Chains A and B, each alone.
Chain A
Amino acid sequence: MTPSPNDIDRFERIVLPHLDDAYTLARYLLRDPHEAQDAVQDAALRALRYFETYREGDARAWLLAIVRNCCLTRHKRARAERANISFVDDVDVVYEGRATDARAVEQSERAHLQRALDGLPPEFREVIVLREIQGLSYREISDVVGVPIGTVMSRLARGRRRLASALGYDAQQAG
């Protein structure tokens, strides 16, 4: 089915405003800026293909669910292609020779948190990103990830407790 100019117009109005969110999710899931761009482009076209399945409602969660699937597909493919090479991206860690102390501290804090987040199993990491960085509600996260709200809650609780101990806060590990 070829989308009509009307469909595309509607698509641009409803879906494209959420590209920043789409890219943010892809960046944290894939940890590579180029992979993330490719995944979001795939997702946008896939979203257009399935645009008729979009009902009035949360366009952001709808798009993020598609982005998440595209990321999973890419991640699996990348893993199959480069069996043992993890593709942790160092592009973002910018070391500037004369960074001020405050800046250096801020950067090392970010790098530390980023490592802690990257160290989480993917199913915890994605709910943390969706909740803490992107500010989605439990309902929306449940839609994006495709699991019941109860599962969202338990993954979030476990992910958060792992991060808390990685950051040196005194929180009990949840089961």
Chain B
Amino acid sequence: MICAECRELLDAYIDGELPAADAAAVREHIASCAECAREHAALAATSRRIGETLVKYQAPDVLKARIRVALAQPDPLASTAPSGGATSVTTRRLAFGGLGIAIASSILTFAVVRGVAPGRSPTDEIVSSHIRALMPGHLTDVASTNQHNVKPWFNGRVDLSPPVPNLDSIGFTLIGGRLDYVQERAVPVIVYARRQHMIDVYVRPSVGDRKESNGEMTSSARNGYNVIAWQSNGMSLEAVSDLNRPELEQFVKAFNASR
């Protein structure tokens, strides 16, 4: 075998893709040719370092949940529209599809949260609740893109009237509301969508006298979800989403401004 031939086969040799006879010929040539041996060593080391250093990623749970949500729809392909443009149609379908089992699911949620060990922070509970809500059929109890349908739905179900601003004009589509159970009390949740990302806003009465912190945002992250908490008019609000932080902040500012 001549060097030029050997060089051409080196990659396939390293990758174990050569027929046995060719592999043997390459091996033999490398053993007697320092130049080709050096080339082989460099390529093999490169290959090994890439494989060892660069990671294989795991699909985030929320992505798997989103795909299962889509597949659980009566007609999944009707919502195949890629993100952007048709988002509101996509998410509305998604919300309506979930309506059937939603009531049962809030009872389930109740049971699950009851079992949680004491001492878990409200934010942990809220993130867990958000993830659960992304599972098929859990997203909304009342599915509507109309704020005037969503807001009254909470009347008589909770002891505060959550703000439900319409933010469609800046690309956050209202898709509905749901009743969740956090820290041993029923909590209204307003659900928005941005592209294919879901945003849950949890609304609870403020604890103690915290009027002074009106409008101040506190950001944190858990399990890949961004959480922004703030106070407003005697309410304590938290927005949870896998949306990136700048866009979630933009959402919170707009949510506050348009009330």
Contact = CB atoms under 8 A, between A and B. Distances in A.
A157 B43 CA distance: 9
B244 interface: yes
B67 A19 contact: yes
B214 interface: no
Contact of B63 (A40, A45, A133, A135): A40
A-side interface mostly: helix
B42 A171 contact: yes
Nearest to B47: A132
A11 B77 CA distance: 13
A94 to B, nearest CB: 12
B54 A164 contact: no
Interface string A108-121: 01100110010000
Contacts of B67: 16, 19, 40-41, 44-45
A163 B42 CA distance: 10
B163 interface: no
Nearest to A128: B50
B136 to A, nearest CB: 12
Interface string A37-72: 110111011101100000000000000000000100
B80 A45 contact: yes
A37 B196 contact: yes
B40 to A, nearest CB: 9
A170 B46 CA distance: 10
Contacts of B32: none
Given A133-B50, A133-B51, A23 B70 contact: no
B47 A45 contact: no
Nearest to A46: B80
B75 A11 contact: no
B195 interface: yes
Nearest to A74: B82
B128 interface: no
B76 A45 contact: yes
B53 A45 contact: no
Nearest to B62: A37
Contacts of B54: 110, 113-114, 117, 132-133
Contacts of B47: 132, 160
Contact of B53 (A110, A164, A174): A110
A144 interface: no
A75 interface: no
A37 B46 contact: no
Contacts of B70: 41, 44-45
Nearest to B39: A171
Closest 6 CB pairs of A and B: A169-B42, A171-B42, A23-B59, A19-B59, A132-B50, A164-B46
Given A49-B77, A134-B56, 15 more contacts: A1-B77, A3-B76, A34-B197, A37-B66, A42-B82, A44-B71, A48-B71, A109-B53, A113-B53, A133-B54, A160-B47, A167-B45, A169-B42, A170-B38, A172-B7
20 contacts: A1-B77, A8-B76, A16-B67, A20-B56, A21-B56, A23-B60, A33-B60, A34-B197, A37-B66, A37-B196, A41-B196, A44-B70, A44-B71, A45-B79, A49-B77, A133-B51, A135-B51, A138-B17, A153-B12, A170-B38
